[in-house]
Amino acid sequence: MRNPIFPGSRVGKGPVPRTRVRTFAMSDVPIWRYLSLAKYIDLLRTRSLYFPKASRFQDETEGKWWGHAHLYENAQRWRPSPANVQTLEELLERAGQDPYAIIREIHTILESANEWVRNILSTAMRASPNKRREYLEYVISSWKRHYDDHNPAVQQWKSDSDVFRDSTYISCWNRASSMSLAMWEMYGGGSESVAVRSTISKLKGLIEGNASFLQRQGLVGDVAEVEYLEGLKNPDEVVQDRIYEIIFGRDRDLRLGLFAIKPNAYEFEHEVRAILYPKRDLLDPIEDPHPNVTGFSLPISPMADGERSLADFVDSVYLHPMLDKDSLMVQAVTEINRLFDVAEIPVVADKIEALGSDVALP
């Protein structure tokens, strides 16, 4: 059903359809995190996973696409308002207080009017004579108010998005069956870096194992797979609906959805995110409970004897695919693991080569 005052709005479209929920059916789905050697040593030293706040990411669009889609839709809706208001005001000025003169003026411009104005005029024709002018004046007032309120709403959305970005903490992983050379070069930083492999279930388990710590900080967390959409900058109705599905069409906090949407230019990342965010009721103020915190470190879940076992979380550590098993990096990382009491974590060197040792006989 079309809303005669707000054409194109979601009023009357019914509930947002339930979307296909991406679930991690296989508990052993591998995920990768590419680290400089210094960051890998820090992981071993602290025996914890670091979650920086989203506002520290280089991508300035993080967490903003829902607000952008909503405001873009409203901007498209209200941009014609000044011209449409002028059309209705001139009609009322010509007709004066005579309700039948209003009908005559409507017939004069009805065919040439745009869809917005035509819908309003058609509704006014069906109104009782003593209500026609009142109805058109109400529409004019409503259109002016929404137009004037739009830019302040943009500023409010920007402010709220900044708070969400400052109070949300994210650990980013790459979901893939094997290493990615592109990801290695982009996030590892060259041959003197490593790739840590774990699984989605272990990432979820890390958050669950730290539930008491998170509760004391007023935080909750979960794991989400990023969804990549084309047309986010100028979203049409299909993209708008898909964004609403991701945000509202599943049983999870909307802030997971906020940070699970990215432009399709990033699709090569196949990103899985562990996300921490403030526990907040829907009507609570939007504020950052930890304004002086740049990130949180979650300890690897402790074992029964109280010792934290990184080997329970890290399946293996891979070296750059241009290095072979005899490289100095293999020796260095193996020794680093031994020094930090995690010698049981396998160090893998799987060099990409042709006509190498694999085809030679001993």
**How many residues are given for the chain?**
362
In the predicted model, is pLDDT for residue 214 greater than 80? yes
For residue 58, the Cα-to-chain-centroid distance in whole angstroms is: 14
Looking at residue 281, what is its pLDDT?
81
Say yes or no to pLDDT of 16 above 80: no
Cα separation of 203 and 222, whole Å? 9
- Sequence letter at residue 181: L
Residue 171 contacts residue 274 (beta carbons within 8 Å): yes
**Location of structure tokens 């190498």:** 356
pLDDT band at 21 (very low <50, low <70, confident <90, very high): very low
Cα–Cα distance for residue pair 125/239, rounded to 1 Å: 36
Q: What is residue 199's predicted lDDT score, i.e. its pLDDT?
A: 95
pLDDT bin (cut points 50, 70, 90) of residue 307 is low
> Stretch 141-159: mean pLDDT, rounded?
97
Q: pLDDT tens, 312-342?
A: 899 999 999 898 888 999 999 999 999 999 9
Q: For the residues 40-66, what does the mean pLDDT come to?
A: 95
At residue 13 the predicted structure's pLDDT band, cuts being 50, 70 and 90, is: very low
Q: What is the pLDDT of residue 27?
A: 59
pLDDT grade for 309, boundaries at 50, 70 and 90: confident
**167 pLDDT tier (thresholds 50, 70, 90):** very high
Name the residue type at position 358.
D
Predicted confidence (pLDDT) at residue 66 exceeds the cutoff of 70 = yes
pLDDT of residue 218: 95
Write down the residue that tokens 């109070």 correspond to. 167
Q: What pLDDT, on the 0 to 100 scale, is given for residue 301? A: 60
pLDDT of the residue at 288: 94
Whether the CB-CB separation of 99 and 130 falls below 8 Å is answered with yes
Encode pLDDT of 105-147 as tens digits. Answer: 999 999 999 999 999 999 999 999 999 999 999 999 999 999 9
Looking at every residue in the chain, the average pLDDT score rounds to: 88
What does the block give as tokens for 163? 């708070």
Mean pLDDT of 17-33: 61
Q: Which range is least confidently modeled, 11-25, 233-247, 270-284?
A: 11-25
Provide the pLDDT confidence category of residue 18 given band limits of 50, 70 and 90. very low
Contact predicate 313/202, CB 8 Å = yes
pLDDT above 60 for 222? yes
The pLDDT of residue 361 is 85
Residue 117 in tokens: 């104005």
User: Which burial class, exposed, middle or buried, applies to 324 when counting CB atoms under 10 A from its CB (0-12, 13-18, 19+)?
Assistant: middle
Q: Check whether 25 has a pLDDT greater than 60.
A: no
Position 243 scores a pLDDT of 94
- The pLDDT assigned to 17 comes to 42
pLDDT tens, residue by residue, 168-191: 999 999 999 888 888 888 887 788
* Token pair listed for 326: 């005899």
Position 63 pLDDT exceeds 80: yes
Lowest-confidence pick of 165-169, 253-257, 301-305 = 301-305
Summarised one tens digit per residue, pLDDT across range 239-252 is 999 999 998 877 77
